[in-house]
Amino acid sequence: MEIKIFGTESYSTYVVKDSVTIETDNYPELSGMNEEEILEYINLNGSSMKPTDDEYYSDLMEELMSKDIIREKISGEDSNICSENFWRR
């Protein structure tokens, strides 16, 4: 019997970007929120919030995601040997 086999690899990558300091007084929509609530709000609404540096960025989410990478972490590494039939299922 002849079968074609190949190896696969899978993993998760986490990329941590440099931080941005926001002054909550400049964001009235964050008034009265604790840190956890602020993070949740920014995760949901950051693309419609003003950036801290409007010369280079159009919104806060763009600014946060454009910062330099300070750390990368790869986890959940796995490898396996498969046949072509595996991918046809």
pTM over 0.85: no
- 56 within some domain: yes
Burial class (CB in 10 A: 0-12, 13-18, 19+), 17: middle
Q: Helices (H), strands (E): how many in the chain?
A: 3, 2
- 82 within some domain: no
Instruction: Provide the number of structural domains found in the chain.
Output: 1
Q: Which two tokens stand for residue 6?
A: 């190949």
- 76 within some domain: no
- 12 within some domain: no
pLDDT truncated to tens, each residue of the chain (89 aa)?
Answer: 888 888 888 889 889 999 999 999 999 999 999 999 999 999 999 999 999 999 999 999 999 999 999 999 888 888 887 777 665 55
- 77 within some domain: no
- 24 within some domain: yes
Question: What domain range is 43 assigned to?
Answer: 19-67
